[in-house]
Structure 1
Amino acid sequence: MQSAKQKISDMASTAKEKMVICQAKADEKAERAMARTKEEKEIAHQRRKAKEAEANMDMHMAKAAHAEDKLMAKQSHYHVTDHGPHVPQQAPVPAPAPVMGHGYGHNPTGVTSVPPQTYHPTYPPTGHHNHHHY
């Protein structure tokens, strides 16, 4: 559905086009009245048609510009990256040291198995906790 601003803008463009067409018709009548030959009358008629076509094109260009503005506004809404206050993220978990074997003599001399570091979150775990209160 069109916004009220878009509708008003389109109505203004249409009204402007109609005013130009009415003015072109009045100009044609005046030119035809002053025309002496059939060719001059035809030129006046063609001039009116050209003015009407130009007014129609201007109206469509204005509508296209409004549609483009609307589209750009809608697209810019989807490209916004900052949606409010910054929430600090947890520190990244360091990668565990490589484990060469399982500690039973399969490692090269001088290399021992290193257990991976554990990560303890600073927030409470989620989910259901079945605590029975007696």
Structure 2
Amino acid sequence: MQSAKQKVTNMASAAKEHIDIGKAKTQEKMEMATARTKEEREIAEERRKVKEAEAKMSLHESKGEHAAQKMHSKEKHSSFLPGSQAPVAGVYGSTQPQAVVPPPGGVPAVYPPVTRQQPGHKFI
């Protein structure tokens, strides 16, 4: 459900970006029509470019916010209860090596190394 919500909000943000770019182009045309010198025309073009860049930046920021909202909702609905331990590294798809802490007064546990499959080899 959150993926669909994220897609819809991303599409809305993209539509807003297109509207902002259209406004910038329209404003540039108005400034070009009233400009008397070449410098004024160049300034109008630079203003348009700045506004387009701001619109693209706001699109990327909002996409990041949408992704963060999706991740937050996944964390909120996690199956782990507060105070319970998370699964051991490597059990549920984590391939990042974790530091092994030896038990007090004992020998550290040795785990088999995590190997990655070669691309294109679905089955070994």
TM-score range, shorter chain: 0.5 to 0.7
Do structure 1's residue 63 and structure 2's residue 50 form an aligned pair?
A: no
Distance 2:6 2:71 in 1: 12
What residue identity is the alignment partner of 2:39? E
**Alignment root-mean-square deviation, CA:** 1.9
Q: Distance in 2 between matches of 1:4 and 1:76?
A: 18
Instruction: Using structure 2 for the length normalisation, give the TM-score.
Output: 0.61
- 2 CA distance for matches of 1:7 and 1:81? 29
Provide the secondary structure at the position in 1 that maps to 2:52.
helix
- Unaligned stretches of 5+ in structure 2? 83-124
Conserved? CA contact 2:35–2:41, under 8 Å: yes
Larger RCO, structure (CA 8 Å, separation 6 or more): 2
Q: Normalization by structure 1: what TM-score?
A: 0.56
Residue pairs, 1:19-58, within 5 angstroms: 19-58=19-58
Give the residue type in structure 2 aligned to 1:36. Answer: R
User: What letter matches 1:62 in structure 2?
Assistant: S
Structure richer in helix, relative to its length: 2
User: How many residues of Structure 1 are paired with residues of Structure 2 in the alignment?
Assistant: 82
Q: Residue 9 of structure 1 corresponds to which residue in structure 2?
A: 9
C-alpha displacement at 1:73, in angstroms?
1.6
> Runs ≥4 in structure 1, deviation > 2 angstroms?
75-80
Q: Could you tell me how far 1:6 is from its partner in structure 2?
A: 1.0
Deviation at 1:13, TM superposition (A): 0.2
Which amino acid in the other structure matches residue 6 of structure 2?
Q
> What is the match of residue 73 of structure 2?
73
Compare CA radii of gyration and give the structure with the larger one.
1
Distance 1:80 1:42 in 2: 59
